[in-house]
Structure 1
Amino acid sequence: MSRRSDPLFQRTQEHATPLDRRHFLAATAALAASAATPAFAAPRLPTKRPAPADRRFTSPAVERELARVSSQIGDPKLRWMFGNCYPNTLDTTVKLTTLNGQPDAFVITGDIPCLWLRDSSAQVKPYLHLAKDAPELRRLFHGLIARQSRCILIDPYANAFMEDPTAKSNLEWSQADETVMKPGVAERKWEIDSLCYPMRLAHGYWRATGDATPFDGTWAQAARASIATFREQQRKNGPGPYSFRRTANQPTETLLWGHGAPTRPVGLIHSGFRPSDDACLYPFLIPSNLFAVTALRELAIVAGEARKDAALAQQAIDLAAEVDAALRQYGTMRLRDGREVWAYEVDGFGNALFMDDANVPSLSGLAYLGCVAPADPLWQRTQAAAWSDANPYFFKGTAGEGIGGPHVGLGQIWPMSLTIRALSSSDDATIRACLKTLRDTDGGTGFIHESFDQDDPAKFTRAWFAWANGLFGELIVHLARTRPALLKATL
Structure 2
Amino acid sequence: MSTLQSSIKSRKNIEIGYQSKFPYARPKEPKRKFVSPIIEKVIENITLNMKDKDLARLFENCWPNTLDTTVAWFDVSEDYPRAFIVTGDIPAMWLRDSTNQIISYVPYANDDDKLKKLILGVIYMQAEFVIKDPYANAFYAPHEAKLPHPKNPWSENDVTTPPPSNITWEKKWELDSLVSFLKLSHNYWYNTKDDSFLTNQVWLEAVNVVLNIMEKQQLGTMQEFGNEAYKFTRMTSTTTETLMLNGIGAPVKRIGLVKSQFRPSDDSTTFPFLIPSNAFASVELSHIYEMIDSTSPDIAKKAKNLSQTIRDSIYSNAIIQHKQFENIFAYEVDGYGSSNLMDDANLPSLLSLPYFDFIDKNDETYLKTREFILSDWNKFWFSGEKFHGVGSAHTGLGYIWPMSLCMKILTSSDDQEILETLQLLKESSAKSGFMHESFYYNDPKNYTRSWFAWANSLFGETILHVAKEKPHLIMIDNFKFF
Is TM > 0.5 for Structure 1 vs Structure 2? yes
* Structure 1 residue 338: Cα displacement: 5.9
* Structure 1 residue 132: Cα displacement: 1.9
Q: In the alignment, does 2:50 pair up with 1:73?
A: yes
Q: What residue is the counterpart of 1:175 in the other structure?
A: 156
Give 3-state SS (helix, strand or coil) of 1:390's partner: coil
Cα distance change on mapping 1:277 and 1:382 into 2, 3 Å: same
Identity over the aligned pairs, expressed in percent? 38
Aligned pairs, how many?
453
2:440 paired residue among 444, 453, 469? 453
Separation in 2 of the partners of 1:194 and 1:61?
29
Cα distance change on mapping 1:363 and 1:398 into 2, 3 Å: same
- Indicate if the aligned counterparts of 1:42 and 1:80 stay in contact, CA closer than 8 A: no
* Structure 1 residue 46: Cα displacement: 3.8
TM-score by length of 1: 0.89
2:136 paired residue among 145, 158, 161? 158
Cα distance change on mapping 1:58 and 1:131 into 2, 3 Å: same
Cα distance change on mapping 1:309 and 1:169 into 2, 3 Å: farther
Q: What residue is the counterpart of 2:219 in the other structure?
A: 235
- Indicate if the aligned counterparts of 2:157 and 2:234 stay in contact, CA closer than 8 A: yes
Q: What residue is the counterpart of 1:201 in the other structure?
A: 184
- Indicate if the aligned counterparts of 1:169 and 1:175 stay in contact, CA closer than 8 A: no
Which deviates the most, 45-54 or 274-283? 45-54
Q: What residue is the counterpart of 1:415 in the other structure?
A: 402
Separation in 2 of the partners of 1:277 and 1:158?
11
- Indicate if the aligned counterparts of 1:202 and 1:302 stay in contact, CA closer than 8 A: no
Gaps of 5+ in 1: 1-35
Q: What residue is the counterpart of 1:333 in the other structure?
A: 320
* Structure 1 residue 58: Cα displacement: 0.5
In structure 1, give the amino acid aligned to 2:118. Answer: L
Cα distance change on mapping 1:174 and 1:329 into 2, 3 Å: same
Separation in 1 of the partners of 2:392 and 2:217?
25
Trace 1:82-481 onto structure 2 (pairs within 5 A). Answer: 82-94=59-71, 95-98=73-76, 102-164=80-142, 170-179=151-160, 180-215=163-198, 216-236=200-220, 237-239=223-225, 240-257=228-245, 258-304=247-293, 308-337=295-324, 339-481=326-468
Q: What residue is the counterpart of 1:31 in the other structure?
A: none
Separation in 1 of the partners of 2:290 and 2:472?
36
* Structure 1 residue 97: Cα displacement: 1.7
Deviations 1:96-129 (Å, cap 9, x if unpaired)?
1247973111011001011000000001111111
Q: What residue is the counterpart of 2:480 in the other structure?
A: none
In structure 2, give the amino acid aligned to 1:197. Answer: S
Separation in 2 of the partners of 1:338 and 1:395?
19
Deviations 1:309-352 (Å, cap 9, x if unpaired)?
11111110011111112112111112233611000011111111
Give 3-state SS (helix, strand or coil) of 2:255's partner: coil
CA RMSD of aligned residues (A): 1.8
Q: What residue is the counterpart of 1:10 in the other structure?
A: none
* Structure 1 residue 168: Cα displacement: 6.8
Deviations 1:55-85 (Å, cap 9, x if unpaired)?
0000001000110111221111111100000
Separation in 2 of the partners of 1:72 and 1:98?
35
Task: Give the ranges of 4+ consecutive aligned residues of structure 1 lying more than 6 Å apart after TM superposition.
Answer: 166-169
In structure 1, give the amino acid aligned to 2:69. Answer: T
Cα distance change on mapping 1:329 and 1:98 into 2, 3 Å: same
* Structure 1 residue 169: Cα displacement: 6.7
Cα distance change on mapping 1:454 and 1:438 into 2, 3 Å: same
Deviations 1:147-201 (Å, cap 9, x if unpaired)?
0000000011000000035997721111110111211110000001001111111
Q: What residue is the counterpart of 1:482 in the other structure?
A: 469
- Indicate if the aligned counterparts of 2:289 and 2:301 stay in contact, CA closer than 8 A: yes
Give 3-state SS (helix, strand or coil) of 2:253's partner: coil
- Indicate if the aligned counterparts of 2:345 and 2:390 stay in contact, CA closer than 8 A: yes
Cα distance change on mapping 1:54 and 1:169 into 2, 3 Å: closer
Q: What residue is the counterpart of 2:3 in the other structure?
A: none
TM-score by length of 2: 0.91
Q: What residue is the counterpart of 1:33 in the other structure?
A: none
- Indicate if the aligned counterparts of 2:325 and 2:372 stay in contact, CA closer than 8 A: no
- Indicate if the aligned counterparts of 1:272 and 1:279 stay in contact, CA closer than 8 A: yes
- Indicate if the aligned counterparts of 1:168 and 1:185 stay in contact, CA closer than 8 A: no
Q: What residue is the counterpart of 1:39 in the other structure?
A: 14
Deviations 1:9-40 (Å, cap 9, x if unpaired)?
xxxxxxxxxxxxxxxxxxxxxxxxxxx94736
Cα distance change on mapping 1:484 and 1:38 into 2, 3 Å: farther
Cα distance change on mapping 1:372 and 1:474 into 2, 3 Å: same
